[in-house]
Amino acid sequence: MAKPKIAVVFYSTYGTNHGIAAAAAKAAEEAGADVRVLRIPETAPEAVVNGQDAWKAQAERASEFPAVSNDDLVWADGIFLTSPTRYGGMASQTRAWLDTLGGLWMQGALVNKTITASATSQNKNGGTEGAIQQTYVSAMHFGMIPVVPGYADSVKFEDGGNPYGFSAQPGELSEVGHRSVAYQAKRLVDITAKLIG
């Protein structure tokens, strides 16, 4: 069986989604995938980013990773995408990046690639379900195949139970969070492996 190629793509203002991306990448590697960890470019003005110590520090941490390119997406068989919630939807940085992919959409370059998504929000019911669903809606326009966790593993009865994708509040990933992200990443790898044959 071929080794699935997985792009773990993240946007993070304060670090939480960066942590989720790191956990997903580790789990995907352990599940047998070739993995690239890629950051979604910042769109906020530099003065705004530098005006908040926590935002500036995260921007510096994220800069260790390459910005996601169209070539990365063509390379990948599957994508693990994680992003904060903003006003009940995905972060505008993530939306802005998706809006640059029209060329790939037109070429059908993402057809039949898999995707799974996660999101964070300040409040437990602050909109992660909507943010994740919006990600899948856009992915469906690309002809991508959403691979969702559902309740197919018992960890979903421990992690808050968002069946569309892992969701969490800001901060360090908990032990349960690590297991849930690992489950979702492994499921992505396993199903992608079946699809690519």
- Nearest CA to 110 among 68, 149, 64? 68
Only one residue has tokens 């941490």, namely: 61
Under rule CB under 6 A, residue 48 binds ligand FMN: no
Nearer Cβ to ligand FMN (121/138)? 121
Pairing of β 5-10 and β 89-90: unpaired
**Binding test (CB under 6 A) with ligand FMN, winner from 5, 7, 8, 17:** 17
CB-side exposure of 152: number of CA atoms within 13 Å? 12
Q: Provide, rounded to whole angstroms, the least separation between the CB of residue 56 and ligand FMN.
A: 13
Under rule CB under 6 A, residue 162 binds ligand FMN: no
Buried b / exposed e over 157-192, threshold 16 CB at 10 Å, is: eebbebebbbbbeeeebeeebbbbbbbbbbbbbebb
- Nearest CA to 129 among 166, 158, 176? 166
Site string for ligand FMN, 118-157 (x = CB under 6 A): --xxxx--xx------------------------------
Stretch of 65-73, 86-94, 97-105, 138-146 contacting ligand FMN, by CB under 6 A = 86-94
Under rule CB under 6 A, residue 13 binds ligand FMN: yes
**Site residues for ligand FMN per CB under 6 A:** 12-17, 84-88, 120-123, 126-127, 170
